[in-house]
Protein backbone atom coordinates (compact mmCIF):
# COMPACT_ATOMS: atom_id res chain seq x y z
CA UNK A 1 0.00 0.00 0.00
CA UNK A 2 1.43 3.31 -1.04
CA UNK A 3 1.33 5.80 1.76
CA UNK A 4 4.11 8.17 0.65
CA UNK A 5 2.91 11.72 0.61
CA UNK A 6 4.52 12.74 -2.67
CA UNK A 7 4.57 16.47 -2.10
CA UNK A 8 6.76 16.21 0.99
CA UNK A 9 9.18 13.74 -0.56
CA UNK A 10 9.22 15.81 -3.72
CA UNK A 11 10.17 18.91 -1.80
CA UNK A 12 12.81 16.95 0.03
CA UNK A 13 14.39 15.98 -3.26
CA UNK A 14 14.35 19.56 -4.47
CA UNK A 15 16.77 20.39 -1.70
CA UNK A 16 18.57 17.12 -1.24
CA UNK A 17 19.51 16.46 -4.86
CA UNK A 18 21.31 19.75 -5.61
CA UNK A 19 23.09 19.42 -2.26
CA UNK A 20 24.12 15.90 -3.23
CA UNK A 21 25.31 17.08 -6.63
CA UNK A 22 27.43 19.74 -5.00
CA UNK A 23 28.78 17.40 -2.37
CA UNK A 24 29.72 14.83 -5.02
CA UNK A 25 31.16 17.27 -7.53
CA UNK A 26 33.62 18.94 -5.23
CA UNK A 27 35.72 15.89 -4.35
CA UNK A 28 35.41 14.65 -7.94
CA UNK A 29 36.76 17.99 -9.12
CA UNK A 30 39.54 17.71 -6.59
CA UNK A 31 40.50 14.14 -7.49
CA UNK A 32 38.94 13.33 -10.80
CA UNK A 33 39.77 16.38 -12.74
CA UNK A 34 37.51 18.60 -14.83
CA UNK A 35 35.94 15.72 -16.82
CA UNK A 36 34.70 14.09 -13.68
CA UNK A 37 33.53 17.44 -12.38
CA UNK A 38 31.43 17.93 -15.51
CA UNK A 39 30.10 14.35 -15.55
CA UNK A 40 29.05 14.31 -11.92
CA UNK A 41 26.43 17.09 -12.19
CA UNK A 42 25.10 15.57 -15.41
CA UNK A 43 24.64 12.17 -13.75
CA UNK A 44 23.06 13.84 -10.74
CA UNK A 45 20.74 15.81 -12.97
CA UNK A 46 19.69 12.64 -14.73
CA UNK A 47 19.03 10.98 -11.36
CA UNK A 48 17.11 14.02 -10.21
CA UNK A 49 14.79 14.10 -13.18
CA UNK A 50 14.32 10.34 -13.11
CA UNK A 51 13.32 10.44 -9.48
CA UNK A 52 10.99 13.34 -10.09
CA UNK A 53 9.21 11.59 -12.93
CA UNK A 54 9.03 8.39 -10.84
CA UNK A 55 7.39 10.33 -8.04
CA UNK A 56 4.80 11.82 -10.34
CA UNK A 57 4.09 8.34 -11.74
CA UNK A 58 3.58 7.06 -8.20
CA UNK A 59 1.20 9.88 -7.46
CA UNK A 60 -0.77 9.14 -10.64
CA UNK A 61 -1.00 5.44 -9.79
CA UNK A 62 -2.14 6.29 -6.27
CA UNK A 63 -4.88 8.51 -7.59
CA UNK A 64 -6.00 5.84 -10.00
CA UNK A 65 -6.07 3.28 -7.23
CA UNK A 66 -8.21 5.58 -5.10
CA UNK A 67 -10.53 6.05 -8.02
CA UNK A 68 -10.73 2.31 -8.65
CA UNK A 69 -11.37 1.62 -5.00
CA UNK A 70 -14.20 4.11 -5.07
CA UNK A 71 -15.56 2.54 -8.21
CA UNK A 72 -15.40 -0.87 -6.61
CA UNK A 73 -17.32 0.35 -3.60
CA UNK A 74 -19.84 2.01 -5.90
CA UNK A 75 -20.24 -1.15 -7.95
CA UNK A 76 -20.67 -3.23 -4.85
CA UNK A 77 -23.21 -0.75 -3.56
CA UNK A 78 -25.07 -0.77 -6.86
CA UNK A 79 -25.05 -4.55 -6.91
CA UNK A 80 -26.44 -4.59 -3.40
CA UNK A 81 -29.09 -2.06 -4.40
CA UNK A 82 -29.94 -4.14 -7.46
CA UNK A 83 -30.39 -7.20 -5.34
CA UNK A 84 -32.41 -5.25 -2.82
CA UNK A 85 -34.62 -3.81 -5.54
CA UNK A 86 -35.36 -7.25 -6.94
CA UNK A 87 -36.22 -8.40 -3.46
CA UNK A 88 -38.49 -5.42 -2.87
CA UNK A 89 -40.23 -5.86 -6.20
CA UNK A 90 -40.91 -9.49 -5.47
CA UNK A 91 -42.15 -8.80 -1.96
CA UNK A 92 -44.52 -6.11 -3.12
CA UNK A 93 -45.73 -7.94 -6.23
CA UNK A 94 -47.40 -10.61 -4.16
CA UNK A 95 -49.64 -8.25 -2.19
CA UNK A 96 -50.30 -6.33 -5.42
CA UNK A 97 -51.39 -9.51 -7.16
CA UNK A 98 -53.85 -10.20 -4.37
CA UNK A 99 -55.17 -6.63 -4.46
CA UNK A 100 -55.65 -6.84 -8.24
CA UNK A 101 -57.63 -10.05 -7.89
CA UNK A 102 -59.79 -8.74 -5.06
CA UNK A 103 -60.68 -5.75 -7.20
CA UNK A 104 -61.64 -8.03 -10.08
CA UNK A 105 -63.79 -10.11 -7.75
CA UNK A 106 -65.39 -6.98 -6.27
CA UNK A 107 -66.17 -5.66 -9.76
CA UNK A 108 -67.81 -8.98 -10.54
CA UNK A 109 -70.04 -8.55 -7.48
CA UNK A 110 -71.26 -5.23 -8.80
CA UNK A 111 -72.67 -6.73 -11.96
CA UNK A 112 -76.46 -6.08 -11.73
CA UNK A 113 -77.49 -9.43 -13.08
CA UNK A 114 -75.56 -11.28 -10.47
CA UNK A 115 -76.53 -9.30 -7.36
CA UNK A 116 -77.17 -11.82 -4.65
CA UNK A 117 -77.30 -11.90 -0.89
CA UNK A 118 -73.75 -12.94 -0.65
CA UNK A 119 -72.57 -10.11 -2.94
CA UNK A 120 -72.21 -7.49 -0.27
CA UNK A 121 -70.57 -9.92 2.10
CA UNK A 122 -68.07 -10.82 -0.63
CA UNK A 123 -67.51 -7.13 -1.35
CA UNK A 124 -66.81 -6.39 2.27
CA UNK A 125 -64.44 -9.30 2.46
CA UNK A 126 -62.56 -8.20 -0.66
CA UNK A 127 -62.20 -4.64 0.60
CA UNK A 128 -60.94 -5.98 3.88
CA UNK A 129 -58.37 -8.10 2.18
CA UNK A 130 -57.22 -5.13 0.10
CA UNK A 131 -56.68 -3.19 3.30
CA UNK A 132 -54.67 -6.06 4.77
CA UNK A 133 -52.43 -6.26 1.72
CA UNK A 134 -51.91 -2.51 1.62
CA UNK A 135 -50.80 -2.68 5.24
CA UNK A 136 -48.41 -5.45 4.32
CA UNK A 137 -46.89 -3.28 1.59
CA UNK A 138 -46.67 -0.36 3.94
CA UNK A 139 -44.74 -2.43 6.45
CA UNK A 140 -42.31 -3.43 3.74
CA UNK A 141 -41.69 0.07 2.47
CA UNK A 142 -41.44 1.56 5.92
CA UNK A 143 -38.98 -1.02 7.08
CA UNK A 144 -37.01 -0.39 3.93
CA UNK A 145 -36.89 3.34 4.56
CA UNK A 146 -35.68 2.56 8.02
CA UNK A 147 -33.10 0.20 6.63
CA UNK A 148 -31.90 2.78 4.13
CA UNK A 149 -31.77 5.66 6.56
CA UNK A 150 -28.29 5.59 8.02
CA UNK A 151 -28.81 6.89 11.48
CA UNK A 152 -25.58 7.84 13.12
CA UNK A 153 -25.66 6.40 16.61
CA UNK A 154 -26.06 8.87 19.49
CA UNK A 155 -23.76 7.62 22.19
CA UNK A 156 -24.75 7.47 25.83
CA UNK A 157 -23.51 5.50 28.80
CA UNK A 158 -25.70 2.42 29.15
CA UNK A 159 -26.21 -0.20 31.82
CA UNK A 160 -26.50 -3.16 29.49
CA UNK A 161 -28.03 -5.61 31.93
CA UNK A 162 -30.76 -3.13 32.79
CA UNK A 163 -31.48 -2.38 29.15
CA UNK A 164 -31.80 -6.06 28.32
CA UNK A 165 -33.89 -6.73 31.44
CA UNK A 166 -36.40 -4.06 30.41
CA UNK A 167 -36.86 -5.73 27.05
CA UNK A 168 -36.98 -9.19 28.62
CA UNK A 169 -39.77 -8.11 30.95
CA UNK A 170 -41.70 -6.78 27.99
CA UNK A 171 -41.43 -10.10 26.18
CA UNK A 172 -41.93 -12.21 29.30
CA UNK A 173 -45.60 -11.48 29.75
CA UNK A 174 -46.52 -12.95 26.41
CA UNK A 175 -43.87 -15.65 26.64
CA UNK A 176 -45.13 -17.14 29.92
CA UNK A 177 -48.56 -17.51 28.36
CA UNK A 178 -46.92 -19.87 25.88
CA UNK A 179 -44.94 -21.72 28.56
CA UNK A 180 -41.68 -20.12 27.54
CA UNK A 181 -39.22 -19.39 30.34
CA UNK A 182 -36.66 -16.62 30.16
CA UNK A 183 -33.46 -17.32 32.07
CA UNK A 184 -31.06 -14.49 32.78
CA UNK A 185 -27.34 -14.85 33.32
CA UNK A 186 -26.12 -11.32 33.65
CA UNK A 187 -22.45 -10.65 34.28
CA UNK A 188 -22.29 -8.67 37.50
CA UNK A 189 -19.19 -6.68 36.66
CA UNK A 190 -20.20 -5.14 33.34
CA UNK A 191 -18.97 -1.56 33.02
CA UNK A 192 -21.28 1.06 31.52
CA UNK A 193 -21.13 0.72 27.76
CA UNK A 194 -20.98 3.70 25.44
CA UNK A 195 -23.50 2.95 22.76
CA UNK A 196 -26.88 4.00 21.35
CA UNK A 197 -29.62 2.76 23.74
CA UNK A 198 -32.71 2.77 21.52
CA UNK A 199 -30.85 1.10 18.66
CA UNK A 200 -29.62 -1.62 20.98
CA UNK A 201 -33.13 -2.02 22.40
CA UNK A 202 -34.43 -2.65 18.90
CA UNK A 203 -31.89 -5.40 18.39
CA UNK A 204 -32.62 -7.11 21.71
CA UNK A 205 -36.37 -6.90 21.25
CA UNK A 206 -36.08 -8.34 17.76
CA UNK A 207 -33.92 -11.24 18.94
CA UNK A 208 -36.23 -12.02 21.85
CA UNK A 209 -39.25 -11.87 19.58
CA UNK A 210 -37.62 -14.20 17.05
CA UNK A 211 -36.68 -16.59 19.84
CA UNK A 212 -40.31 -16.70 21.02
CA UNK A 213 -41.48 -17.38 17.51
CA UNK A 214 -38.90 -20.10 16.96
CA UNK A 215 -40.00 -21.91 20.09
CA UNK A 216 -43.73 -21.55 19.54
CA UNK A 217 -44.77 -23.11 22.81
CA UNK A 218 -42.93 -24.67 25.67
CA UNK A 219 -39.29 -23.83 25.72
CA UNK A 220 -36.53 -21.69 27.16
CA UNK A 221 -34.86 -18.46 26.19
CA UNK A 222 -31.52 -17.79 27.81
CA UNK A 223 -29.95 -14.34 27.99
CA UNK A 224 -26.30 -14.00 28.89
CA UNK A 225 -23.96 -11.05 29.17
CA UNK A 226 -20.22 -11.06 29.66
CA UNK A 227 -17.06 -9.08 29.04
CA UNK A 228 -14.86 -10.17 26.17
CA UNK A 229 -11.10 -9.74 26.31
CA UNK A 230 -10.74 -6.14 27.33
CA UNK A 231 -12.91 -3.83 25.37
CA UNK A 232 -16.01 -5.70 24.21
CA UNK A 233 -19.25 -6.75 25.82
CA UNK A 234 -21.07 -9.81 24.53
CA UNK A 235 -24.81 -10.41 24.73
CA UNK A 236 -26.13 -13.83 23.86
CA UNK A 237 -29.77 -14.69 23.22
CA UNK A 238 -30.32 -18.44 22.97
CA UNK A 239 -33.50 -20.37 22.40
CA UNK A 240 -34.59 -24.00 22.40
CA UNK A 241 -36.61 -23.44 19.26
CA UNK A 242 -36.70 -25.05 15.86
CA UNK A 243 -33.19 -23.99 14.86
CA UNK A 244 -31.94 -22.90 11.46
CA UNK A 245 -30.85 -25.27 8.70
CA UNK A 246 -27.29 -25.07 7.39
CA UNK A 247 -28.39 -23.71 4.00
CA UNK A 248 -30.53 -21.02 5.56
CA UNK A 249 -27.86 -20.03 8.03
CA UNK A 250 -25.90 -18.08 5.44
CA UNK A 251 -29.05 -16.29 4.27
CA UNK A 252 -30.62 -15.10 7.49
CA UNK A 253 -29.04 -11.68 7.41
CA UNK A 254 -30.22 -11.09 3.83
CA UNK A 255 -32.98 -8.55 3.54
CA UNK A 256 -36.33 -10.21 2.77
CA UNK A 257 -35.19 -13.70 3.64
CA UNK A 258 -37.83 -15.25 5.85
CA UNK A 259 -39.10 -18.69 6.68
CA UNK A 260 -42.43 -17.35 7.86
CA UNK A 261 -45.52 -17.92 5.72
CA UNK A 262 -46.40 -15.20 3.21
CA UNK A 263 -47.70 -12.04 4.79
CA UNK A 264 -46.26 -12.81 8.20
CA UNK A 265 -43.00 -11.04 8.73
CA UNK A 266 -41.08 -9.13 6.13
CA UNK A 267 -37.74 -10.77 6.66
CA UNK A 268 -36.10 -7.44 7.28
CA UNK A 269 -35.70 -7.78 11.05
CA UNK A 270 -32.37 -9.58 11.22
CA UNK A 271 -30.83 -7.61 8.40
CA UNK A 272 -31.75 -4.40 10.20
CA UNK A 273 -30.32 -5.76 13.44
CA UNK A 274 -27.14 -6.70 11.67
CA UNK A 275 -26.90 -3.21 10.20
CA UNK A 276 -27.41 -1.64 13.63
CA UNK A 277 -24.79 -3.78 15.33
CA UNK A 278 -22.26 -2.97 12.62
CA UNK A 279 -23.03 0.73 12.96
CA UNK A 280 -22.45 0.43 16.70
CA UNK A 281 -18.98 -0.87 15.92
CA UNK A 282 -19.82 -4.41 16.86
CA UNK A 283 -20.18 -7.91 15.48
CA UNK A 284 -23.28 -10.02 15.04
CA UNK A 285 -23.04 -13.79 14.81
CA UNK A 286 -25.28 -16.84 14.96
CA UNK A 287 -24.97 -20.50 15.85
CA UNK A 288 -27.76 -22.93 15.31
CA UNK A 289 -28.72 -26.55 15.14
CA UNK A 290 -31.86 -27.66 13.36
CA UNK A 291 -34.32 -29.04 15.86
CA UNK A 292 -32.24 -28.03 18.87
CA UNK A 293 -32.11 -24.25 18.99
CA UNK A 294 -30.33 -21.06 18.03
CA UNK A 295 -27.98 -18.59 19.68
CA UNK A 296 -27.38 -15.03 18.55
CA UNK A 297 -24.19 -13.29 19.66
CA UNK A 298 -24.04 -9.51 19.77
CA UNK A 299 -20.62 -8.07 20.56
CA UNK A 300 -20.30 -4.35 21.01
CA UNK A 301 -17.32 -2.22 22.00
CA UNK A 302 -17.39 -0.69 25.45
CA UNK A 303 -16.18 2.55 23.94
CA UNK A 304 -17.77 3.46 20.65
CA UNK A 305 -15.49 4.38 17.79
CA UNK A 306 -17.05 5.70 14.65
CA UNK A 307 -16.25 3.40 11.76
CA UNK A 308 -14.78 4.84 8.61
CA UNK A 309 -16.48 3.68 5.44
CA UNK A 310 -13.82 1.48 3.87
Partner 1 sequence: MHKIRVLIIDDEPDFLETIVKRLMKRKMDATGVGSGEDALSLIENESFDVAILDMRMPGMDGIETLKELKRKSPLTEVIMLTGHASVESGMQGMQFGAFDYMIKPADFEELVEKVNQAGERRRLHEERIQKS
Partner 2 sequence: MSARPRVLIVDDEERFRTTLRKLLTVREMEAADVGSAKDAFSEMEKNSYDVILLDVKMPEMNGIEALGRIKKEHPDVEVIILTGHASVDAAVEIMKLGGYEYLLKPCPIDELAGKIETAWERKIARAKRKTEGS
Judged by the rule CB under 8 A, the positions of this chain that interact with partner 1 are 142-143, 146, 152, 154-156, 166-167, 169-171, 173-174, 197-198, 201-202, 205-206, 208-209, 212
We find the least distance from the C-beta atom of residue 70 to partner 1, in angstroms, to be: 24
- What's the first-to-final CA gap in the chain, in angstroms? 14
How far is residue 90's CA from residue 96's CA, in Å, rounded to a whole number?
A: 10
Shortest distance (Å) from residue 140 CB to partner 1: 13
Q: Which does 155 bind (CB under 5 to 8 A by kind): partner 2, partner 1, none?
A: partner 1
Pick one of partner 1, partner 2, none as the site partner of residue 226 (Cβ within 5 to 8 A by kind): none
Q: Rounded to the nearest whole angstrom, what is the least distance from the CB of residue 97 to partner 2 in the complex?
A: 4
CA distances (Å), origin 82, targets 79, 85, 137, 159: 5, 5, 19, 40
Contact 236, 296 (CB under 8 A): yes
| Closer of 202 and 259 to partner 1 (Cβ) | 202
Binding residues vs partner 2 (CB under 8 A): 86, 89-91, 93-94, 96-102, 104-105, 108, 126, 129, 259, 261-263
| DSSP state letters, 129-154 | HHHHHHHHHHHHHHHHHHHHS-PPPP
User: Which option in partner 2, partner 1, none does residue 201 bind, with CB closer than 5 to 8 A by kind?
Assistant: partner 1
Number of other CB atoms surrounding residue 150 within 10 Å = 8
Contacts of 55 (CB under 8 A, 6+ apart): 6, 9, 10, 13
303 binds, among partner 2, partner 1, none (CB under 5 to 8 A by kind): none
Name which of partner 2, partner 1, none residue 70 binds, using a CB cut-off of 5 to 8 Å depending on partner kind. Answer: none
Amino acid sequence: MLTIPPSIVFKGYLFAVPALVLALSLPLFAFGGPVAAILAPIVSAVCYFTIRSLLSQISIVREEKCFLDEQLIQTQKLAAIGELSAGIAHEINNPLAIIAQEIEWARYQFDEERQTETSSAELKDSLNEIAVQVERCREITHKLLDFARKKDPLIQGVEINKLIEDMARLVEREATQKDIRIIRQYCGSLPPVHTDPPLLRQVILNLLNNATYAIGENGTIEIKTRILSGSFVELVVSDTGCGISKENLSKIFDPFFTTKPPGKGTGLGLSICHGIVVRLGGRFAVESELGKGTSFFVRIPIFYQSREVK
